Chain A
Amino acid sequence: PTPPYLKWAESLHSLLDDQEGIQLFRNFLCQEGCADLLDFWFACSGFRKTSQEKRAKLAKAIYRKYIVDGSGIVSRQIKAATKSFIRDCVGRPHPDPAMFEQAQTEIQGMMEENTYPLFLKSDLYLEYT
Chain B
Amino acid sequence: IDSEDDLLQECISSAMPKKK
Q: What is the interface of chain A, defined by CB distance below 8 A to chain B?
A: 16-19, 22, 39, 42-47, 49-50, 54, 57-58, 60-62, 64-65
Closest A residue to B4 using CB positions = A61
Interface SS majority for chain B: helix
A89→B18 CA distance, assembly (Å): 30
Interface SS majority for chain A: helix
Residue from the list A19, A43, A60 in contact with B15, Cβ < 8 A: A43
A46→B11 CA distance, assembly (Å): 5
A102→B5 CA distance, assembly (Å): 23
Residue from the list B4, B14, B16, B20 in contact with A60, Cβ < 8 A: B4
Given contacts A46-B14, A62-B11, 10 further A-B pairs with CB under 8 A are A18-B17, A19-B20, A43-B11, A46-B10, A46-B13, A49-B14, A57-B7, A58-B7, A61-B8, A62-B8
